[in-house]
Structure 1
Amino acid sequence: MSSSKTVLSLDSEAVFSLKDGINFKKSPDDGKCYIIYKENGELKACKNQCKHQGGLFIKDIEDLDGRTVRCTKHYWKLNVSTMQYVNPPDSFTQDELDVVMTDEGGLQLVEVIVWDPWLADPQDPQELQEGEVSYLTHACMELQLGGKKMIFDPWLTGPAFARGWWLLHEPPADSMERLCMADLIYISHMHSDHLSYPTLKSLSATRPDVPIYVGDTSRPVFWMLEKRQVQLTNINVVPFGIWQNIDEHLRFMILKDEVHPELDTCIIVEYKGHMILNTVDCTRPNYGRLPHNVDLMMSDFAGGASGFPMTFSGGKYTESWKADFIKNERKKLMNYKAQLVKSLQPKIYCPFAGYFVEAHPSDRYYKMFTILCTNSVLGSG
């Protein structure tokens, strides 16, 4: 279920004026930006949109070869001649647009658009019962859908991001038991606040055969499981945009992110004709095409990652600069989420996946202990 769309057209004069190296172009129709790279008469093209968090690229003044652009958001760098990110290395590959030459000597940049696969085989809504959706913690939701229990992104114990994040709210005391009783588990992507190795290790010790579903991304979600001594035997990698039927009333569909198609996914669950949309951490889920008027929509509302942007140091990166940067980034994120909810008009919206802290509660004790010891030493000296 896809089609091609021309996103930018250039006439023969504009094509002739393309210089060797990097060319920045903006569509006069919708204002979206693109990059065209020319070398030895050959053309490559991509969106001017960083796959990290959707920032805009500009010329990289440190690149003497004229092949690299730099993201204005987090300073990631892309070699447009190869469509590989060089900073950080071995990270993403930029998606190319098709360059189609016209008979008149112009060109068109063509993008493949994914349409609305959830419209396949529609079902009439049936009456629901109370208490069929429960929140556990962070991005972990439990859906009790008739006789089936479905759980999203179980991070129930331990830290994430190399001890950089800790759960803000302790999950219910029986949450691990409930996880072990799940009929199916969906894990959206490999970030450790969604793919929690401590949680999965506990799960594998009790019920290694629990059905787990992930999208067919180019970066395998579970490539580190064996190294972390996590033995799960029923992992199901499913294609995007196709209904997965669980029983006569329950089905789900996994969709990929436009900005991070090799990494991020989201999910639509339909139960008795009622839809739940969980966009999780996707920057632009399913190319921006999502179902409207769903019964329940969930999405993250936190930005950045552990320590960000404290990894910037020196020069202009003062404490006040960092504070302003964080404020502006979070404001942009909240505006985007608000616009997405406004456009989709869900009956209920649930923001989640932002309930973490960057210091373990015990750190407060150690900090106070250190201060007391220091004061004691200074006082005795």
Structure 2
Amino acid sequence: MSANPPKDAKSPQPPIKLRRVGLFETSVNTEVIPVRGLLEGINDIGKFIVSMKKHVKLGEKPEVEWIIDKTCNHRGDKLLHNKGIAGCPHCNWALDLKTLTYHNGYRKQPLKYHIEGRSLHVQTSIDLSNPYQSSFKGDFKIRWLNHACLHIEAGGIKCVTDPWLLGPSFLGSGYLETASCKEAVHCLVNADFIFISSNRSSCLHPQTLAFVPKSKPFLIGNFASKSIEKALRGLGFTEIYTLEFQEIYEFSSFFQFSILKAGDGSEESGLYLCLSGHDVIINAYGNYLNTFNLPTDLTLLCTSFAGATSGFPFCIDNYNSEQKKALHTNHLEGLKQQLELLLESTNASYVMPIATPYIQEAARDQEVQNANAKNALDYGKQICDTYTRSHRESPVVWLQPDYTLTLEFKENDLIQWREDVHVLKRDVPQRYVDFYTRTFVYDANKLINYLKLSGYKAQQIVAFVPTDGSFEKVVGPIVQADFATQSFKIIEANAIITKQQGYRVMVLKVRGEILACVVENHLPFEEILRGFHCRIQRTPNVYEAQFWRYFSHFYTDSKPYTIQLV
């Protein structure tokens, strides 16, 4: 069964009544660190690393330069200190303790503290609570529709999150593992509002949003780049509520919410909800959400677990196949540890994995698909069971995502309703590959003009190498960009710079038609990386956070284009 966009996507919607109610109440958690025995320089002590200006001598006041926790700002894993570098074994982030800056450019903030006698009193975390929450717990419903798309209902308000229900994401690369049902599209069209957590196409999916009336209200976080808002307006939507992070809003006392920002500096977000008195967190892609300063005693936690949604490490040619396998295994282990940390910080009663796997189904991506292992969802249940045995009297219930089920949460109970569904047809990947190859033609001069107008300046050289689908054959002129001198020119292959003193250097092989599509339509560059459409050689071998963020968020003005399949 297929689904078609409505002919009239401008059907009137009743006005949505949204109001800001206030802020979370906060309570600061502190730990006491004895300073006796601390030496000048770096001291690695338990959960913390302390830099002292000098040795602590008897009778003298301690002189502290800074204190940091050993928490990686990417996903909250534990940093391991070795010779002035604190590295994360799961995500490969590395912190230089001389500058408190990760190798990708993100800065770690020191902890606040005060000195009392011979001890340091360190602020470690903040507990959040909703002072406007009803003391009465009523009913709410939630239904997983696909991937990170949920249908939520409480107090007569219906919300859908991150709708991707059909067609591929990431420029014809990512395909839903399970075909959606027609009823999911009906839920989307009839929702009172839609929450979009990110501008990635697995959350903000133009092909799915073609079904939505242009007057539909959207809720988004107030990111600096405005990339989500620009993308939605580019698709013709007009009712966009850009909301401040960590502020509580409501449609009624039965439906309150707050948007929370990722803690790793990325423009990703999650959603706190208070539904008929129940606390819920929904977080598809927000790494280290709100630095894990979250409400506790949740009824429901919806979080990513399966993994396999990044171009790292498979697109990085600095690694051989065995190294890529090891790095990816570490990434999956990090997601398991993240679930453990979230259980500890939220004490959730129910957990549902979302951002469920998508697959690289096109024939040309089979090598990536074969290597791109996922965490089995059953392993998440084991983690919940282990946490129950050590921390709780009542079990943490693992809820397997199933779009045939509507979950109705009562005051102290859960009822599951089986729904009738009509499954949509699966997509044929090669038809999308053919569409992009047929429609978009690489033009070096267009790329040069695009880069000149970007306004991006950095000590960075990038060579853009357009290739065929297998990255073996160069299909057009190579463009080299020196963003420090603002020099953009066509070069021969033997003139590619691979290393330059004082520069970050990247050789970026990209499928020619995909690069053309991104440039022509001002799409986020990260769509190239997340779609495995590139192969990268970089010096130094660290994530180019500034480059990818700028060209994925600040220098975007997404233009809609029609996908015509033959």
Q: Is the 8 A contact 1:125 1:272 kept in 2?
A: yes
Corresponding residue for residue 210 of structure 1: 216
Corresponding residue for residue 123 of structure 2: 110
* In 2, Cα distance between equivalents of 1:362 and 1:301: 27
Corresponding residue for residue 98 of structure 1: 112
Corresponding residue for residue 40 of structure 2: 18
Within-5 A mapping of 1:152-191: 152-161=161-170, 163-173=172-182, 175-176=184-185, 178-191=187-200
Q: Is the 8 A contact 1:44 1:99 kept in 2?
A: no
Q: Which of 45, 49, 55 is the matching residue for 1:34?
A: 49
Q: What is the Cα deviation at residue 299 of structure 1?
A: 1.8
TM-score (norm 2): 0.50
Within-5 A mapping of 1:298-313: 298-313=302-317
Corresponding residue for residue 93 of structure 2: 76
Q: What is the Cα deviation at residue 190 of structure 1?
A: 3.9
Deviation string, structure 1 residues 312-337 (Cα, Å, up to 9, x no partner) = 5567x443x54454345424533542
The reply on whether 1:123 has 2:135 as its aligned counterpart is: yes
Corresponding residue for residue 354 of structure 2: 352
Report how many aligned residue pairs link the two structures: 336
Corresponding residue for residue 147 of structure 2: 138
Q: Which one-letter code corresponds to 1:235 in the other structure?
A: I
Moved over 6 A (4+): 364-367
Q: Is the 8 A contact 1:218 1:262 kept in 2?
A: no
Q: Is the 8 A contact 1:139 1:194 kept in 2?
A: yes
Q: What is the Cα deviation at residue 107 of structure 1?
A: 4.8
Q: Is the 8 A contact 1:290 1:344 kept in 2?
A: yes
Q: Which one-letter code corresponds to 1:120 in the other structure?
A: Y
More divergent stretch after superposition (235-244 vs 340-349) = 340-349
Deviation string, structure 1 residues 244-280 (Cα, Å, up to 9, x no partner) = 22135322233345x4366443323333334443243
Q: What is the Cα deviation at residue 225 of structure 1?
A: 1.9
Within-5 A mapping of 1:271-350: 271-286=275-290, 287=292, 289-292=294-297, 294=299, 296-313=300-317, 317-319=320-322, 321-334=323-336, 336-337=338-339, 340-341=342-343, 346=348, 348-350=350-352
Unaligned runs of 5+ in 1: 368-381
Q: Which one-letter code corresponds to 1:96 in the other structure?
A: P
Q: Is the 8 A contact 1:269 1:277 kept in 2?
A: yes
TM-score (norm 1): 0.70
Q: Is the 8 A contact 2:169 2:205 kept in 1?
A: yes
Q: Which of 226, 231, 234 is the matching residue for 1:225?
A: 231
Corresponding residue for residue 270 of structure 1: 274
Q: Which of 249, 254, 259 is the matching residue for 1:254?
A: 259
Question: 1:352 and 1:36, CA in 2 relative to 1: closer, same or farther beyond 3 A?
Answer: same
The reply on whether 1:50 has 2:72 as its aligned counterpart is: yes
Q: Which one-letter code corresponds to 1:270 in the other structure?
A: C
* In 2, Cα distance between equivalents of 1:81 and 1:220: 33
* In 2, Cα distance between equivalents of 1:248 and 1:12: 51
Question: 1:199 and 1:79, CA in 2 relative to 1: closer, same or farther beyond 3 A?
Answer: farther
Q: Is the 8 A contact 1:306 1:358 kept in 2?
A: no
Q: What is the Cα deviation at residue 13 of structure 1?
A: 5.1
Question: 1:207 and 1:244, CA in 2 relative to 1: closer, same or farther beyond 3 A?
Answer: same
Query: CA RMSD, aligned part only?
Result: 4.0
Q: Is the 8 A contact 2:220 2:229 kept in 1?
A: no
* In 2, Cα distance between equivalents of 1:52 and 1:339: 13
Q: Which one-letter code corresponds to 2:161 in the other structure?
A: F
Q: Is the 8 A contact 1:8 1:110 kept in 2?
A: no
* In 1, Cα distance between equivalents of 2:119 and 2:234: 56
